[in-house]
Structure 1
Amino acid sequence: MPGVRYERKSKAISPLDVQMAIKMSRTPSAKAREIEWRDTECAGLTLRITKTDAAWLIRRRDRTIKIGRCAEVPLPTARYIAHRTREAAKRGRDLKVFVETLVKLRSHGFSGHKSYDDSLEWETADEIADDNSELGRRRLRGETHSVWTWRQLTEQFLSEKLPDLKEKYRDRYARYLRLPEFALLNDRPVAEVTAADLEVVRDRMLAAYRPSTVHRAVRQGREMLTWAWSYHAAKAGLDQVQHAWWERWSVKYKWKVRHHTPKIEEIARTMVIADMFTHLSDNEHETYPGTIGALWAAGLTAQRTGSLLALRPDRLFAPEKKAKLPGWKIANWTAEEMKGGKDGGRPHALPVPPEALKVLERYYKASGGTSEWMFSGRKSNERITQSALNLLMYRLQGRVFDHRGKNKPDRPGKPGPKAAKKAKVRVDLFAYYGIRPWTLHDIRRTLGEFLDDKRLGGAASAILGHKLPRDDMPERERMAPVTEIHYNSSQRIALKAEGMALWSQALLAACEKERKALTRKPRPPALPRQSGR
């Protein structure tokens, strides 16, 4: 500050002196003058006190560089920075850039009891302040020159990872790395994140989500750190890391192997009660026709719900005349719409019998008959989601969860975690009608066993879209236009049609039988009146 005369004094600055300086700058009655204390323990380090602030400076013969406010930069950190700045000056570094970078790197998680010589942040700051280094050249070009924080690492990783994933899976993948519990790390430089930090994040997630969700988030977090270490070590501040210590970051989780194979009668009974009881609570809307139609379609086609719900009316094509399938239509999905393994998705065509088509068309008309999607919800321009279809299955079993009641992690001074709210109780129609619990994916297992008994195991694999041994699809067929998919010889239309005819006939016959039986059984108690459709 030109024209200002400071009262200067040299002394071994102590933590008590720092507290007093901060108090003097904040207390009007103290009538603080412009004072500078030069630290005799660290050459060049100066504490300046004014009427509005107390700050650390590095005084050199040619220039003065501000480190930061005393309230934000502890005394050991200020000495560390001054010490490293003297060394950087001997190497001809840009001292202003060096100090600014080192302050950012040391501002998180620094312990006042830690020796200021036992960390390596200065090496990163030194490289950034070196005009001839890669990071220095990036700084001169105006590019971001500081090392990544956890938030920046997440965004950089996702920008490279997501384009390699299927479009429908990208949002779900990104969601796990953006869970609110990662906010603890978002502003921390990656180099300062410790195993203890990762454990805290994991434990907070375990208090808020199911183990399967935490397992996915932790696995993707490890993948992200390994990517940074392998390809962007300097940018992430991991260039001095000798081993992937984060691989120890894990969560106890055991995959649940499902062995449910519902009987055809149980699948049919579920489809019928979903159609009969659309109003399950006075406080909830009726189940949309598109959702009921999607449930019936899942039963009749045994397709994965992710692909099934992407079906559109204009993707139902008439088969070739030589196929001799009058009244049938062939549903088509592209490779992108199908589930892919290591080899990616494969286009899929499924012949649908006339009796099954009538069911699909009935529900399509009930939901408005104008949507571009075969299964639409309240808004005709939006298709039913997988979660909506799963929720229907839960509601039929009397399980309706309030997602606002999830466990919350501890808060300072508020021990916990808090107990989750219990699920709302509804009439369990599965139990009332003698249906064992099952999931929509289990239909695929039932169809496979049904056709195996008919000696049509090959048809089952083709219908389900399984890749068979030596079943490598040529790139030409994989990339064929959707209107041509059902003409490809690899689609085995005739074989699929044989299996689909048997399956749909058996299931629809079971539905008729179950409907007659259910109408004779007393109505479940505590259910609201049905408006009927």
Structure 2
Amino acid sequence: MAPAIRVEIEKKHIDEAIERARTGVSKEESYYYGDRLTSGLQLRVQGRQAFWALKYYNFTKTIGYAYPAEDKHLPSVSAARKLAAACKDILDDDPKMLEPMLVKYYGGADRDVKKAKKEMVAVSTGWTVEETAEAMIAARTKPDTDDPIKKSTVAQFRLTLRRPQVKALSKKPIADVTKADLDAVKREMEKSPEGASMIKKFVSDIRSILTWGATHATDMTSLDPSNIWWELVKSGKKKRAITRSPIVDDIVKTLILAESYLERPLPGRFSEGKFGVGHNVLNALWWLALSAQRTTAGTRLRLVDFFPDPKRLGSGWYLAFWAEGETKNGKAFVLPVPPRAAGFLQERMAKAKRNGDSQWCFPSSQARGKIEIDIPVDRNSPGGVTERMAVRDYPTKDKIAKELAKNAKWESPYVDLLAENDIMYWSPHDVRRTIVEVLEEHGIPGGASAVLAHEVRLTDDLLFVDNARNREQYLELRVSRVTKLAYGAGGFIPLKSKAMEVWTNTLIDRYEELHSTYRQARKKAQAERVLKAIYSDANSAAEAKEAAYLELPKIRRKLEDNLTGHKQMLSGLLKKTPPPDAGVRTARIEIELAQADLDAFNTDPASYAIEPSRRAASRTHSAVLQSALKTDEKPVDLVVEAPAYTQLRDQFIADKIDVHTFRLLITERYPITLDMMDDRIITGMVTGDEAL
């Protein structure tokens, strides 16, 4: 910066500084005027700014701006001189009070120096908002805290303070925070697309931080516990509807976990009964997951309304039906149920206890077997399974609250099984959002609408009426009418069928993958499939070897031709004047590599038969594979799925072992026979844990 120009600063100097600042000056062109009338007052021009600075002893401070006129605008030299004199007085008394005075000066409409000096308050030296938040987090995550918070809550607090709208506030001393500060943050958040939820979280989090600071750390925050003004701060936003969308794994893991409590009580609930989850309630929850129907209609499915599809008899397809008045919108609805899902559900229904001649697919255990008092499981019972497993049911929450009120150190015997198993909490209704996502991923967006919507209208009265004398005739007529409705205009049975098959297979496939019993069965089936492929391949290995050896002369000629070609290329390059150095180097490297390949072949030609033998094997034993394996399954890749066998086979093809040793080692290692006269392939127990 150039040296100071000592002048009695006038308007012309200010105008000149503003003009230079508008066009911008380089670092070398920067300069400043030093005022002769007020010692230490300077008008500086740097970059695109013209500002007033006060240099007083070892202290230099910007006290206002001539340009731009947006922040701390100080337009005249007289105002600058008056403010500079006030600043010197404050610096003589207490330098810490300078910033508060400037805040008051520029915050007032009349820019009154005397008033600003009178109203200024000391700079807070206590914790900032961010420091208070971190202290609160540290305290509330200690083992002995009486007000614990979860990791997700800690993450939420920190996310709130990291938001750009809150950045300045988080660095401010918490004692200086005002309601105006919080309202300003809310206005900035309002501009964001997710403003409503962001504001609700901000208001909740900042109130928690302020309350903790006033309650537990007044010495460090200077907050007054008797003036909890922040409780008046409201988000002003309507609470959004719950839009949980559990992933398939959340749903399936919950159902598997619930199964484990069919024969034992849930943790801490021994007084509620011998079993934690009832069979019929779990079956109803499975049905709600598979069908994605609302709980009221889903739980009230009658046996007479779940029957084989007359249009697809023998296929395993079923139809589930709800008459008018049994659905939320009062319309009748027909849902096709795929064979696999129908069998899956019926297998579980057969194991559940039934009360006499109950008319319901999922009868309540409270019934006594008489048709007059026969009722289905309560519509809230399936959802109650997830609530109780997550300790979200109100009786338990109330009990916990009462116990803690009596004894803050009371240890709850209840366990949030969903959180413990990394499962997101969900309710049966949330499945309706998940099915939409899954079907969209499979390219069937309209399928979800057809499965979830109740669009079929009835013209005939098919509400269930029990008439024992005409029951058989009634049921026959009912099935006929439902079938007609399902396949008539507006039934969308083909679309529903496609959607339901994708959705139910997604759930059941994942169930079998995650369930230990099914997982082991799948591993066993996979191992048997690979063993059958080994049997087929080993019995044709000799023929494959013979075919591969016939290709060795071709492989030799190919390697020789490759070497000759590179030599010819080098010869051509060397004839050029001058020879291209890079090309010559590359050609010589290629010659070395080609020669190495040929030498390797000459040293051990049999090893070069391995790859051709694999190609030959795929041709020679394909018929055996088709008979040994299901035709709809992907072919076995023995190199990937049976590396130990592949190593033995390679040794045989490369003449490291003879055919007798090869076959002997296979039968010793694997529970199979290679005797073509034996009707068996697998001769021993297969668990699925074998190293193949």
TM-score, reference length from structure 2: 0.34
Please identify the structure whose Cα radius of gyration is greater. 2
TM-score, reference length from structure 1: 0.42
